[in-house]
Amino acid sequence: MDIQKEKLTIQEVAKATGLTTHTLRYYERIGLIHPINREENTRRCYTTDDVGWINFLLKLRATGMSIKDMQRYAELQRQGDETLPERVQMLKALRENVEARIHELNENLSLVSYKIDLYSKIIEETMLEKS
């Protein structure tokens, strides 16, 4: 019984990840994705594992991690388990960074909410005066 290793075209991966084929090739070129196997022809043949990795990359990107740092992380990942400590360090730094950003966003959110309330009151009062 073969392990079901689904083979995917670049189009299918694009659909599965929300990236364009351009971006998928770009990510491979700059080392965010390992060199994808080709079929007997020259075309890329992705695995479901590749899709998993790409989706994880997208999570990292969504945290605001830079391409440079993602390149470093991807390189470490390819080097295997002995790089786990350094990857954990990167993730811890990322966590702190994200926590700080969430904190800042919450502060600014308060200011925005304050302004909304303030301006809403002024608008109400102005309408009352006019009526």
Positions that interact with its own copies (CB under 8 A): 59-60, 62-63, 81, 84-85, 87-88, 91-92, 94-95, 98-99, 101-102, 104-106, 108-109, 111-113, 115-116, 119-120, 122-123, 126
Minimum distance from CB of 88 to DNA (Å)? 22
Contact between residue 59 and residue 73 where contact means Cβ atoms under 8 Å apart:
no
Amino acid residing at 5:
K
Q: Decide which of DNA, its own copies, none touches 93; Cβ closer than 5 to 8 Å per partner kind.
A: none
Q: How far is residue 37's CA from residue 32's CA, in Å, rounded to a whole number?
A: 15
Q: Which does 123 bind (CB under 5 to 8 A by kind): its own copies, DNA, none?
A: its own copies
Cα distance between residue 25 and residue 113, in whole Å: 42
| Residue ranges in contact with DNA by CB under 7 A | 9-11, 20-23, 25-26, 29, 38, 40-44, 61, 66-68
Nearest residue to 38 via CA among 15, 9, 81? 9
